[in-house]
Chain A
Amino acid sequence: MSEHVTLPDGHIEKQTTTINLGPTHPATHGVFQNIIELDGETIVSAEQTVGYIHRAFEKIAEHRTPYQITTLTDRLNYCSAPLNNFGWHITCERLLGIKIPKRVDYLRIIIMELSRISDHLICNSIVGVDSGVFSGFLYLMQYRELIYEIYEEICGSRLTTNMGRIGGFERNFTNQAFEKLERFIKEWPPVLDEFDNLFIRNRIFIDRTKGVGPISAERALNYGFTGPNLRAAGVDYDVRVHTPYSSYEDFNFTIPVGTTGDCYDRFLVRDQEMRQSMEIIKQAYQKVQEFKGAEAEVFHADVPDFYLPDKKDVYTKMEALIYHFKIIMGETKLPAGEIYSAIEGANGELGFYLITDGGRSPYRLHFRRPCFIYYQAYSELTKGGLLSDAIITMSSLNLIAGELDA
């Protein structure tokens, strides 16, 4: 027993290990692949493979009428589908030069901010999961459900909403919808505070996220970052303020910014944005309630060529039937034009570049998907970090495979 152990001759060659995260890996939260080269536990390089759920939306859109494209936009960022729907409708409205009534704008803002909350809460709670706290995720899911119930009340569906029409909504908000909204306004803020208690001053969480996956403002801009990820790096660019659409200029809210662009800042920016969204929702609800008389019933603009008539009228009135037929069959032509229109999606600037040639469907439609553009920085973000940091960086970027691949 007292003999010394003799090691075999020779030496160990230093080599790197390559591991696959994805395409179907619990850490990717979506279908995409990361080929990570590791030196011990330190990341040397990361290469991404995307496109696993590419569905050729841009090609399909060239053969579809505007309302058939709305259903495609649902499936981009499916965590906040109404934002994409409205983004597309706003693009069409700008192309057609339609003036939208204020009440419609405010109702849209309520829904858009609700979906921003539902998107950010998923992202932040997933960051929590990847740092080892599952309870936050389960707890918040309950409150996303409240948001989905509001969607359900308005358009009948939950995840892929296909909400709204060119010019407004398909029907007015019911009293139940407003009741559910009130419930959410009342119940959500204390829950968010509780959620914050779990993370923001939590030593373990700070250690796991601070200084992880950072990016400077300059690099972030060069990489085309937008949305919360850019703002976490300290640039206060927000489409809602820069190029207000849907009457965002009527609202009073602030744009939270970070400084270092690391996971912790991204978490904080999203967290604060949820609070700002809540403020906007309250203001918008207040404004909606202030409408009196006939104005209080307005839920769409007067655009017979593109706004689907009420079903009741379709069955009883000749004119409504004709319009219904024309819209459904794509007989109404889009005017020739070229427009780039952007809204602030949950992940950043969601742009629609639409070229029409006077036909029934776009000549070319290009989606500027924020996810796709900032994911290419992933290699730079994770280089030199640890494997566990790579996973938390991925979730804090909020990569949605549907948006990535279009």
Chain B
Amino acid sequence: MVLTNEIIRNKLTEKFGDQLGDWSEPYGTLTFTSDKNLNLKVLQYLFDEPSLGFQFLTDLCAVHYPDNEGKELAVIYHLHNLRENVRIRYKIFTDIKKPDVFSAYALYSAANWMERETYDFFGVNFLGHPNLKRILNIEEMEYFPLRKEYPLEDQQRTDKDDEMFGRI
């Protein structure tokens, strides 16, 4: 039996009902969201249920939507069923003021560094992570650089002293 997006969706709806929402299929990848406190339950179900078998965590990252009040940070899991070769995308949203999300480390060892990276850049606080500290940036850093409130330097700016940059 081929595992189609429709079957996955029906399976998940059967189990979780209305708790999952925002179903869409951008470029063929089934995408859905849920409440952030449900993330481990959903991931565990996707992992354990034999007919779904999403046991491979391809990618975990975050996105910052500053205008999305109360749901500024999205944490995105890309899961892969290698047998059936189906990918799905699962998103949860969290408040930037209290960015606590349960860690998926117990389920996927791969989540260890992925979550550290996400914490490093977005400040998502993964509860239950064994070693949640910065990974790519220096440990003394006090901000989370990939958030949208930190713009890159304007390439047109003219107020720089050229002498300091060896341009004269």
**Partner-B contacts on A (CB < 8 A):** 50-51, 54, 56, 58-60, 62-63, 94-95, 219, 221-224, 235, 237, 242-243, 337-340, 342, 349, 351, 353, 355, 363-364, 366, 368, 372-373, 375-377, 405-406
**Cβ-defined partner of B110 (8 Å) among A58, A235, A337, A373:** A373
- Complex: chain B residue closest to A376, CB-CB: B113
* Residue numbers in B under 8 Å from A377 (CB-CB): 109
* Residue numbers in B under 8 Å from A95 (CB-CB): 27
Does B63 sit at the interface, judged by CB under 8 A? yes
- Complex: chain B residue closest to A242, CB-CB: B85
How close is A92's CB to chain B, nearest CB, in angstroms?
12
Interface size on B, residues (CB 8 A): 36
Q: B56 to A221, Cβ gap below 8 A?
A: yes
**Cβ-defined partner of B121 (8 Å) among A58, A94, A221, A405:** A58
Cα distance A375–B135 in the bound complex, in angstroms? 13
Q: B27 to A339, Cβ gap below 8 A?
A: yes
Q: A237-B82, A368-B58 are in contact. Are A223 and B135 (CB under 8 A)?
A: no
Q: A59 to B146, Cβ gap below 8 A?
A: yes
- Complex: chain B residue closest to A54, CB-CB: B136
Cα distance A95–B113 in the bound complex, in angstroms? 28
Q: B137 to A368, Cβ gap below 8 A?
A: no
**Inter-chain pairs besides A62-B152, A366-B59, 6 sampled, C-beta below 8 Å:** A51-B138, A224-B108, A237-B82, A339-B26, A366-B61, A368-B78
**Cβ-defined partner of B113 (8 Å) among A94, A221, A351, A372:** A372
A-B contact count (CB 8 A): 89
Does B34 sit at the interface, judged by CB under 8 A? no
Q: Could you tell me which residues of chain B, from 92 to 130, have a CB within 8 Å of some CB in chain A?
A: 108-110, 112-114, 117, 121
The 4 closest A-B pairs by CB, nearest first: A224-B110, A51-B136, A54-B136, A366-B61
Q: B63 to A364, Cβ gap below 8 A?
A: yes
How close is B56's CB to chain A, nearest CB, in angstroms?
6
- Complex: chain B residue closest to A357, CB-CB: B65
Does B46 sit at the interface, judged by CB under 8 A? no
* Residue numbers in B under 8 Å from A62 (CB-CB): 152
Q: B152 to A353, Cβ gap below 8 A?
A: no
Does B5 sit at the interface, judged by CB under 8 A? no
Cα distance A8–B154 in the bound complex, in angstroms? 71
Residue from B26, B78, B110, B121 having most chain A Cβ neighbours under 10 A: B110
Q: B152 to A219, Cβ gap below 8 A?
A: no
Q: B61 to A51, Cβ gap below 8 A?
A: no
Does B132 sit at the interface, judged by CB under 8 A? no
- A-B contacts, 27 of them at CB < 8 A, read A50-B135, A50-B136, A51-B135, A51-B137, A54-B136, A59-B152, A219-B109, A221-B55, A221-B82, A222-B109, A222-B110, A224-B56, A224-B57, A242-B82, A337-B27, A340-B59, A340-B78, A349-B58, A351-B58, A353-B76, A364-B63, A368-B59, A373-B110, A373-B113, A373-B114, A376-B109, A376-B112
